[in-house]
Structure 1
Amino acid sequence: MAKLPPFPGTTGRRDWRTALDAIRKLLADGDDTTQVFRIMRALNVGNSPMNYARLISTTEGGRLAYERTELAALFAQPGFARQFAPGTVGAAYCHFLDSTGYSADGLAEVSRINAEEDMQHPYAWFGRRVRDTHDIWHVLTGYKADESMGEAALVAFSYAQVGGLGWALIGTAAALKSIRVTGSTLFAKAVWEGYRHGRKAKWISGEDYVKLLGEPLEAARARLGIATPVAYLKAQRELGAELASYLSTRRAADVELAA
């Protein structure tokens, strides 16, 4: 595979001080999504060139890179998510947006703490592509977005898919803290399962997402090799909603489980 030059203006050094400060804040408040992007910027050095090289090494990936569609803008168009037939990935994504209250361009707004996010550069475009499909990955994997365990499991899945020590730090820290907070390894096992499933699945970042949204959901999962998250579903049942969401101030502020 081709080796591409580094992201312009970067030193190639990881900023562990910033990353550790951000992970402390994220573990105290799982809704503080800003900290995720601080961690990504601090630790995911060299990740964009690696993934962009992988994308353009295929004919389909080369076409996607040539077209350079901005997915947040596309997904946020009025009525876009409602055009897909029942049972499709797109219909499930539409339900996801309706049920969570999230928006297609919500992560884009939060991520703009990083100056590189809006840079007119192929690497930055690929980074936006991963960011803008995060919620679709929730739909495909079955990991809930408004739940700490679901986010941690998807973070581990994402690390397996696209690399980057930022993802690894978040998933590992959440899993380790869960053992102390919940008194159980169920949460941690769900996170580890997310990593294993990400390793086994097809590389989803190389997909044409407009086509993917039109596929039947179960058929898409089978084609992409995304397995049923058995350990995650077991942990949901046995831990209950409060412990599965222990990092979330929205879901658990009254019981102070993030303390």
Structure 2
Amino acid sequence: MAKLPPFPGTSGRRDWRTALDAIGKLMANGDDTTQVFRIMRALNVGNAARNYARLLATEQGGRIAYDRVELAPRFSDPAYVARFAPGTVGAAYRDFLAETGYSADGLVEVSKVAPSLDGMPHPYAWLGRRVRDCHDIWHVLTGYKADESLGEASLAAFSFAQVGGLGWALIASAAAAKSVRVTGTALFAKAVWEGYRNGRHARWISGEDYLQLLDEPIDVARARLGIREPVAYLRAQRELGAELASYLSAPKAVKPLPI
């Protein structure tokens, strides 16, 4: 696989001071979602170049990169989201939005921390926006709930396996480590580890054409992509109950990306 140059203007060094400050704040308040993006900016050094090269190496990747579709405006358009047939990935995403009260626009807003990739005219920045905008689609595909700490931590581990980036690994491992003390069991941590293993087993979902994927029956999509049923996650969710599964997040109507 070709090695591409780093993001212009970056030093190539990870900012552990910022990352550790942010993870401390996130573990104290899982609803402080700005910290997620601070962690990503601090630790996912070089990740964009590697994933962009990987995208170009896929069968559809050259076309996807050439088209450079911005997904957030599509996902934020009620008319676009309403068009999907029952049983499809898009219909499940529509149900997700209705149930959680989340929106693609909301994820864009919370991601605007310095330095922001929003609107930056660079292929790596576009890819970063694409990964961000598909986060809730990944919730839908994997079955990990977005309004609980357990689901977000499990998806963070899944994301680390899929796209790399130590930011995802730090979030998943910190949430899992704290869960052992808070819950008194390893159920939460086992679900997070399962998320990583399931991410390793699945096809590389970032290489998918999401505008096509949304029209696919969700069971067919999961089977084609090799997305396993999250058995340990469902057990932890059932045995821990809602309170311990969401031990870092306060109940509220709209909570983008609680960890």
How many Å separate the matches in 1 of 2:105 and 2:66?
Answer: 22
SS at match of 2:159: helix
Q: Secondary structure of 1:6's partner?
A: coil
Which of the pair is proportionally richer in helix? 1
Moved over 3 A (4+): none
- Structure 1 position 177 matched with structure 2 position 178: yes
- Structure 1 residues 172-211: aligned runs within 5 Å: 172-211=173-212
Aligned equivalent of 1:113: 113
Query: Partners of 1:214 and 1:241 in 2: how far apart?
Result: 32
User: How many pairs does the alignment contain?
Assistant: 252
Gaps of 5+ in 2: 253-258
Could you tell which deviates more after superposition, 115-124 or 62-71? 115-124
CA deviations on 1:77-127 (whole Å, 9 max, x unpaired) are: 231111101011000000000000001221111111133412110000000
Measured on the aligned residues, the alpha-carbon RMSD in Å equals: 1.1
CA contact (8 A) 1:31 1:250 kept: no
The percent identity for this pair of structures is 75
1:95 is matched with which residue?
95
Report the TM-score, using the length of structure 2 for normalisation.
0.96
Measure, in 1, the Cα distance between the counterparts of 2:216 and 2:114. 34
Structure-2 separation of matches of 1:58 and 1:242: 42
Q: TM-score w.r.t. structure 1 length?
A: 0.96
1:137-152 alignment, distance < 5 Å: 137-152=138-153
- Paired amino acid for 1:185: A
CA drift of 1:146 comes to: 0.2
Distance 1:35 1:51 in 2: 23
Cα offset for 1:59?
3.5
Question: For 2:250 and 2:64, how far apart are their aligned partners in 1?
Answer: 38
Partner of 2:241: 240
The structural deviation recorded for 1:57 is: 1.2
**How far does residue 250 in structure 1 lie from its aligned partner after superposition?**
2.4
CA distance in 2, matches of 1:114, 1:250: 28
User: Which structure is higher in RCO with an 8 Å CA cutoff and minimum separation 6?
Assistant: 2
